[in-house]
Amino acid sequence: MKHLKKTLLVLLLPLLGFAIAHKFYVSVTNIAYAEKEDALQITTRIFIDDLEAVLLERYEVTAKLATENESKLADEYLEKYLRKKFQIEINNEPKTYDFIGRKYDNDVCIFYLEVPEIDFPSVKAIQVQNAILTDLFDEQQNVVHFKVKEKKKSFVLLKSDTKGMLKL
Protein backbone atom coordinates (compact mmCIF):
# COMPACT_ATOMS: atom_id res chain seq x y z
CA MET A 1 0.00 0.00 0.00
CA LYS A 2 2.80 2.42 0.93
CA HIS A 3 4.56 1.64 -2.35
CA LEU A 4 1.33 2.31 -4.30
CA LYS A 5 0.93 5.76 -2.69
CA LYS A 6 4.51 6.71 -3.60
CA THR A 7 4.02 5.52 -7.17
CA LEU A 8 0.80 7.52 -7.52
CA LEU A 9 2.48 10.60 -6.11
CA VAL A 10 5.38 10.28 -8.57
CA LEU A 11 2.93 9.90 -11.46
CA LEU A 12 0.58 12.73 -10.43
CA LEU A 13 3.15 15.35 -9.44
CA PRO A 14 4.17 16.26 -13.01
CA LEU A 15 0.51 16.49 -14.01
CA LEU A 16 -0.25 18.88 -11.16
CA GLY A 17 2.69 21.06 -12.11
CA PHE A 18 1.42 21.24 -15.69
CA ALA A 19 -2.09 22.17 -14.55
CA ILE A 20 -0.78 25.02 -12.41
CA ALA A 21 1.53 26.34 -15.16
CA HIS A 22 -1.06 26.13 -17.92
CA LYS A 23 -3.10 29.25 -18.66
CA PHE A 24 -6.39 29.33 -20.50
CA TYR A 25 -6.89 32.02 -23.10
CA VAL A 26 -10.60 32.74 -23.34
CA SER A 27 -13.05 35.60 -23.69
CA VAL A 28 -16.82 35.41 -23.32
CA THR A 29 -19.20 37.61 -25.30
CA ASN A 30 -22.96 37.82 -24.80
CA ILE A 31 -25.10 39.35 -27.54
CA ALA A 32 -28.76 40.00 -26.76
CA TYR A 33 -31.56 41.86 -28.46
CA ALA A 34 -33.14 44.59 -26.31
CA GLU A 35 -36.64 45.05 -27.68
CA LYS A 36 -37.37 48.30 -25.85
CA GLU A 37 -34.27 49.95 -27.37
CA ASP A 38 -34.38 48.01 -30.68
CA ALA A 39 -30.67 47.40 -30.18
CA LEU A 40 -28.15 44.62 -29.87
CA GLN A 41 -26.52 44.85 -26.47
CA ILE A 42 -23.12 43.24 -26.17
CA THR A 43 -20.95 42.45 -23.17
CA THR A 44 -17.47 41.05 -23.61
CA ARG A 45 -15.37 39.67 -20.78
CA ILE A 46 -11.59 39.53 -21.27
CA PHE A 47 -8.84 38.82 -18.76
CA ILE A 48 -7.02 41.99 -17.74
CA ASP A 49 -3.52 40.51 -18.04
CA ASP A 50 -4.24 39.40 -21.62
CA LEU A 51 -5.47 42.90 -22.51
CA GLU A 52 -2.33 44.42 -21.00
CA ALA A 53 -0.19 42.02 -23.02
CA VAL A 54 -1.91 42.89 -26.30
CA LEU A 55 -1.77 46.66 -25.65
CA LEU A 56 1.94 46.40 -24.97
CA GLU A 57 2.59 44.17 -27.99
CA ARG A 58 0.45 46.06 -30.53
CA TYR A 59 0.65 49.68 -29.36
CA GLU A 60 3.59 49.76 -26.94
CA VAL A 61 1.23 51.00 -24.22
CA THR A 62 1.93 49.92 -20.65
CA ALA A 63 -1.67 50.08 -19.50
CA LYS A 64 -1.54 49.04 -15.80
CA LEU A 65 -5.27 48.30 -16.04
CA ALA A 66 -7.36 48.21 -12.87
CA THR A 67 -4.72 50.07 -10.87
CA GLU A 68 -4.45 53.63 -9.62
CA ASN A 69 -1.63 54.07 -12.18
CA GLU A 70 -3.79 53.08 -15.17
CA SER A 71 -2.62 54.73 -18.37
CA LYS A 72 -4.69 57.69 -19.54
CA LEU A 73 -4.45 56.14 -23.01
CA ALA A 74 -6.10 52.86 -21.94
CA ASP A 75 -9.64 53.66 -23.12
CA GLU A 76 -8.47 54.95 -26.48
CA TYR A 77 -6.33 51.91 -27.26
CA LEU A 78 -8.77 49.36 -25.84
CA GLU A 79 -11.54 50.76 -28.05
CA LYS A 80 -9.20 50.89 -31.06
CA TYR A 81 -8.25 47.24 -30.53
CA LEU A 82 -11.87 46.11 -30.06
CA ARG A 83 -13.03 47.89 -33.22
CA LYS A 84 -10.29 46.16 -35.20
CA LYS A 85 -10.87 42.67 -33.79
CA PHE A 86 -14.62 42.57 -33.04
CA GLN A 87 -17.13 43.25 -35.81
CA ILE A 88 -20.86 42.79 -36.31
CA GLU A 89 -22.81 42.34 -39.52
CA ILE A 90 -26.59 42.35 -39.87
CA ASN A 91 -27.96 40.90 -43.11
CA ASN A 92 -24.40 40.88 -44.51
CA GLU A 93 -23.94 44.61 -43.85
CA PRO A 94 -21.22 45.77 -41.44
CA LYS A 95 -22.65 47.69 -38.48
CA THR A 96 -20.88 50.12 -36.23
CA TYR A 97 -21.40 49.80 -32.52
CA ASP A 98 -21.28 52.29 -29.71
CA PHE A 99 -18.54 51.79 -27.15
CA ILE A 100 -20.62 52.35 -24.00
CA GLY A 101 -17.83 51.73 -21.50
CA ARG A 102 -16.07 49.17 -19.38
CA LYS A 103 -15.63 48.06 -15.79
CA TYR A 104 -13.47 45.64 -13.86
CA ASP A 105 -14.62 42.52 -12.05
CA ASN A 106 -11.70 40.90 -10.23
CA ASP A 107 -9.24 39.87 -12.98
CA VAL A 108 -11.64 40.52 -15.87
CA CYS A 109 -12.50 43.63 -17.88
CA ILE A 110 -16.13 43.81 -19.01
CA PHE A 111 -16.84 45.89 -22.11
CA TYR A 112 -20.30 47.22 -22.94
CA LEU A 113 -21.14 47.75 -26.61
CA GLU A 114 -24.39 48.44 -28.43
CA VAL A 115 -25.62 48.35 -32.02
CA PRO A 116 -28.53 50.82 -31.96
CA GLU A 117 -31.63 50.99 -34.15
CA ILE A 118 -31.33 47.63 -35.89
CA ASP A 119 -34.92 47.47 -37.24
CA PHE A 120 -35.37 43.97 -35.85
CA PRO A 121 -38.30 42.87 -38.08
CA SER A 122 -35.98 43.12 -41.12
CA VAL A 123 -33.12 41.15 -39.52
CA LYS A 124 -32.51 37.75 -41.13
CA ALA A 125 -28.98 37.06 -39.92
CA ILE A 126 -26.49 38.43 -37.40
CA GLN A 127 -22.83 37.60 -37.86
CA VAL A 128 -20.04 38.29 -35.43
CA GLN A 129 -16.34 38.21 -36.12
CA ASN A 130 -14.35 37.90 -32.92
CA ALA A 131 -10.59 37.75 -33.40
CA ILE A 132 -9.80 39.25 -30.00
CA LEU A 133 -6.36 38.10 -28.79
CA THR A 134 -5.99 35.52 -31.59
CA ASP A 135 -3.17 37.65 -32.95
CA LEU A 136 -1.31 37.19 -29.67
CA PHE A 137 -2.30 33.72 -28.43
CA ASP A 138 -2.69 30.77 -30.81
CA GLU A 139 -4.75 28.96 -28.14
CA GLN A 140 -7.22 31.84 -27.73
CA GLN A 141 -10.90 30.82 -27.63
CA ASN A 142 -13.62 33.44 -27.96
CA VAL A 143 -16.95 32.11 -26.75
CA VAL A 144 -19.97 33.95 -28.17
CA HIS A 145 -23.52 33.51 -26.88
CA PHE A 146 -26.44 34.88 -28.92
CA LYS A 147 -29.83 35.40 -27.30
CA VAL A 148 -32.17 37.08 -29.74
CA LYS A 149 -35.90 36.72 -29.03
CA GLU A 150 -36.44 32.96 -28.72
CA LYS A 151 -33.24 32.05 -30.58
CA LYS A 152 -30.18 30.99 -28.62
CA LYS A 153 -26.90 29.89 -30.12
CA SER A 154 -23.32 29.66 -28.92
CA PHE A 155 -20.01 29.45 -30.72
CA VAL A 156 -16.40 28.87 -29.79
CA LEU A 157 -14.39 30.99 -32.20
CA LEU A 158 -10.72 30.22 -32.77
CA LYS A 159 -7.80 31.76 -34.62
CA SER A 160 -8.63 29.51 -37.60
CA ASP A 161 -12.37 30.30 -37.49
CA THR A 162 -13.25 33.75 -36.15
CA LYS A 163 -16.84 34.05 -37.41
CA GLY A 164 -20.21 32.86 -36.11
CA MET A 165 -23.69 33.49 -37.47
CA LEU A 166 -27.20 33.43 -36.04
CA LYS A 167 -29.91 33.03 -38.67
CA LEU A 168 -33.37 34.24 -37.71
Residue 16 lies in a domain: no
Q: Please report whether residue 32 resides in a domain.
A: yes
Considering the domain boundaries, does residue 134 fall inside one? yes
When divided into structural domains, the chain yields a total of 1
State whether residue 73 is helix, strand or coil.
coil
Give me the pLDDT at residue 113, please. 98
Range of the domain at 101: 24-167
In angstroms, rounded to a whole number, what is the distance separating the alpha carbons of residues 114 and 87? 12
For the chain, helix, strand, coil in percent to 5 are: 30, 40, 30
Domain membership of residue 2 (yes or no) is no
Q: Flag whether 9 is in a domain.
A: no
- Cα separation, 81 vs 108, in Å, equals 16
pLDDT at residue number 1? 55
Nearest to residue 151, comparing CAs of 27, 37, 33, 29? 33
**Measured between alpha carbons, how far is residue 13 from residues 6, 7, 40 in Å?**
11, 10, 47
Q: pLDDT below 50 — which residues of the chain?
A: 3-22
Question: Residue 113 falls within a domain, yes or no?
Answer: yes
Q: What is the pTM assigned to this prediction? A: 0.83
